[in-house]
């Protein structure tokens, strides 16, 4: 690669970094503005918007409600997605590709189409809108991501490990719980964090399937309709920090577990 090409690639890279991070920096900055409106110039700085959201029963209630939905969705998605991956991974049968395509279909359907169809579906099942309906919708959307991640990890599992466990007298269930499941832990952590973030951030399905109690994205949307306020930036900044901490923890945990399994 020539020197001019390296310079050009470097310029493109840093331009892309600036394009990604400048909006985040502006968002965080406006959360400290001592004014009721977003924009420049900034004549003063304050932490009042953060103290206000931590005192707001509405914001804290929406955050707790969203976390409960995300945790429930993550648990169900991990269980169902792992089962699908274990079923599709090592087994060969006629129609496997069709089953795999059907399992992955919820991940590629546009969000608005998925939300409308799920709304019709819960009415058909006579399920009231609210927490249960949102968990159902989020789980259907998140299961394919778990299945894909677990299948990728499962493909690297040495068959000799399973064969050794079976030779020592372990049945299929014991071999899965003692050998396969510990090997899948890094993938499960990564998929779990991804599902949790997807559920926490899901606005469209939460909006169509929700009831009177709003999730945090729906609450932010409702606040945006009355005008931009630094309070929204403060809420977004707190969510950004929590997301970053969760992502860093998951990355470090997966790295430690991968080192352990490679020894």
pLDDT in tens, the chain (263 residues): 677 788 888 889 889 988 888 888 888 888 888 877 777 777 888 888 888 888 889 999 999 999 999 999 999 999 999 988 888 876 677 777 888 888 888 888 888 999 999 999 998 888 888 899 999 999 999 999 999 999 888 888 777 766 676 666 666 777 777 777 888 888 898 899 889 989 998 999 999 998 888 999 999 888 888 777 888 888 888 888 888 888 888 778 777 766 655 54
Instruction: Identify the architecture of domain 47-260 in CATH.
Output: Orthogonal Bundle (1.10)
Alpha-carbon gap, residue 198 to 182, rounded angstroms = 25
Write the DSSP symbol of residue 127. Answer: P
Q: How many of the other CB atoms lie within 10 Å of CB of 115?
A: 21
**In sequence order, what are the beta bridge partners of 33?**
45
Q: What is the pTM of this model?
A: 0.85
Q: How far apart are CA 15 and CA 39, in angstroms?
A: 24
- Of 173, 177, 121, 118, the closest CA to residue 142 belongs to 118
Neighbours of 203 (CB within 10 A): 16
Q: Where are the domains of the chain?
A: 47-260
Q: Coil, helix or strand for 39?
A: coil
Q: What is the pLDDT of residues 47-82, one digit of tens each?
A: 888 888 888 899 999 999 999 999 999 999 999 999
Report the alpha-carbon distance of residue 205 to residue 200 in Å, rounded: 11
- CA–CA distance, 57 with 42 (Å, rounded to integer): 28
pLDDT digits (tens, 9 = 90+) for 207-233: 999 888 899 999 988 888 877 788 888
Q: Where are the alpha helices (DSSP H) in 89-215?
A: 96-108, 111-124, 131-154, 159-167, 172-175, 181-183, 185-201, 204-209
Going by C-alpha positions, the residue among 208, 194, 75, 186 that lies closest to residue 133 is 208
Distance CA 169, CA 175 (A): 9
Residue 234: name the closest of 32, 26, 1 by CA. Answer: 32
- Residue 153's closest CA among 102, 86, 78? 86
Q: Is 71 exposed, middle or buried (0-12, 13-18, 19+ CB in 10 A)?
A: middle
In the chain, what is the straight-line distance between the N-terminal and C-terminal CA atoms, in Å? 37
């Amino acid at each position: 690669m020539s020197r001019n090409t390296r310079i050009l690639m470097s310029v493109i890279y840093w331009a892309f970094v600036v394009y990604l991070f400048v909006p985040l920096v502006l968002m965080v900055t406006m959360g400290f503005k001592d004014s009721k409106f977003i924009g420049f110039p900034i004549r003063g700085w304050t932490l009042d918007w953060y103290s206000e959201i931590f005192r707001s029963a509405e914001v804290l209630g929406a955050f707790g409600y969203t976390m409960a939905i995300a945790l429930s969705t993550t648990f169900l998605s991990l269980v169902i997605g792992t089962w699908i991956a274990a079923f599709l991974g090592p087994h060969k049968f006629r129609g496997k590709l069709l089953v795999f395509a059907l399992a992955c279909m919820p991940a590629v359907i546009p969000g608005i189409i998925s939300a409308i169809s799920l709304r019709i579906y819960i009415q058909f099942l006579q399920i009231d809108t609210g927490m249960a309906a949102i968990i159902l919708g989020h789980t259907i959307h998140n299961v394919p991501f778990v299945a894909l991640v677990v299948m990728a990890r499962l493909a690297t599992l040495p068959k000799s490990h399973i064969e050794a466990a079976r030779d020592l007298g372990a049945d299929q269930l014991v071999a899965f719980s003692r050998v396969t499941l510990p090997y899948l832990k890094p993938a499960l952590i990564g998929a779990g964090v991804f599902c949790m973030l997807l559920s926490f951030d899901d606005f469209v399905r939460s909006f169509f399937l929700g009831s009177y109690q709003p999730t945090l994205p729906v609450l932010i949307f409702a606040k945006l309709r009355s005008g931009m306020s630094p309070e929204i930036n403060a809420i977004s900044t707190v969510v950004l920090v929590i997301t970053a901490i969760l992502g860093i923890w998951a990355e470090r945990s997966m790295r430690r577990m991968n080192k352990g399994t490679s020894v």
